[in-house]
Amino acid sequence: MQRDRPSHVFVVGLSRTGSTLTRRVLNKSPLVGIGGESRFFSHPTRLGLTRQQGLQEQFAAAGDMTTEQGLRSVADAILGRDTPNFWARLSSLVSRDEFEALIRAGGGTDRALLAAAMTCHARGKAIHGEKTPHHIYSVPKLLDWFPAARIIHTFRDPRAVYVSVRRKETTEQLTHAGSLARRLGRPFELYAATNLAASWRRMVALHSRYQDSYPNRYLLVRFEDLVGDPRATVLRMCAFLNIPFTDTMLEQVAFNSSYLPKGSDGELGFDGQAVDRWREYLSPLATWWFARLCGRHLAEFGYAP
């Protein structure tokens, strides 16, 4: 590995902040192979009052990977998954024996499991990685496990994030309780906006902490900069990762916009108009509430009222 080039890169942040677009852009480099969402670590939800379990706990319950029987049980739990996600795709990328050998070589630890999966997804590229937005809460753990790794934190105006999340919701994704809650109208809108604003403010606090603690290993990338000036922003990411920039990194990139019709696979290119399109959809009540909850930080990150 070239000096100062990272071993891994992790793309983190709130959902709907451009993490998928960032991953797709970086994966255009012949040196970078970032997998999808491993959802390995747990994370806070619902105003930070509850915690969503990560797959790390589920796999640990399947067996002790330091033993051959436990390793086989964990491999069964992973390679037998039938949903099209980060872990299920491993069965098409690597043989069972190769996967188990990678974990065994790493000592049968949770770190070895995640590293093995990223190695498979990288498909021979030099820099491995994955993109799970809520791993923003696990940055210290990731950098402890992978000392030569870098973190890219995707960031966006919270009002745009809120609109994007709401527009991406489908009836099929909602629980019965969730569907009932949305019928409350304004009370639910205030709750949802409060939950998003609280999460966004945690991102602000974590950014300040990580920027101070890991100045050379952490980079904030605003969605607005990525779609508004993609060349300059991608050049900055390439410099951060110490990889060459190529024009192909800006070509034929699928842009997964929430403003496209439901079920769409995305469009090609960078949609600069997505920066302010949220203003067409955000209600006056939610606009006022976000200004109350996030006003000072909005200005801090260059977001107009």
- What domains lie within the chain, and their CATH numbers? 8-300 (3.40.50.300)
Determine what percent of the chain is predicted with pLDDT higher than 90: 75
Q: What is the pLDDT of residue 251?
A: 86
**3-class secondary structure for the chain?**
CCCCCCCEEEEEECCCCCHHHHHHHHCCCCCEEECCCCCCCCEEECCCCEEECCHHHHHHHHCCCCCHHHHHHHHHHHHCCCCCCCCHHHHHCCCHHHHHHHHHHCCCCHHHHHHHHHHHHHCCCCEEEEECHHHHHHHHHHHHHCCCCEEEEEECCHHHHHHHHHHHCCHHHCCHHHHHHHCCCHHHHHHHHHHHHHHHHHHHHHHHHHHHHCCCCEEEEEHHHHHHCHHHHHHHHHHHHCCCCCHHHHCCCEECCCCCCCCCCCEECCCHHHHCHHHHCCCHHHHHHHHHHHHHHHHHCCCCC
What is the average pLDDT across 188-199? Answer: 91
Give residue 268's pLDDT band: very low, low, confident or very high (50, 70, 90). low
Residue 265 clears pLDDT 70, i.e. is over it: no
Residue 61 clears pLDDT 90, i.e. is over it: yes
Q: What is the pLDDT of residue 202?
A: 96
Quick check: pTM over 0.75? yes
pLDDT in tens, 199-245: 999 999 999 999 999 999 999 999 999 999 999 999 999 999 999 99
Q: What is the pLDDT of residue 274?
A: 80
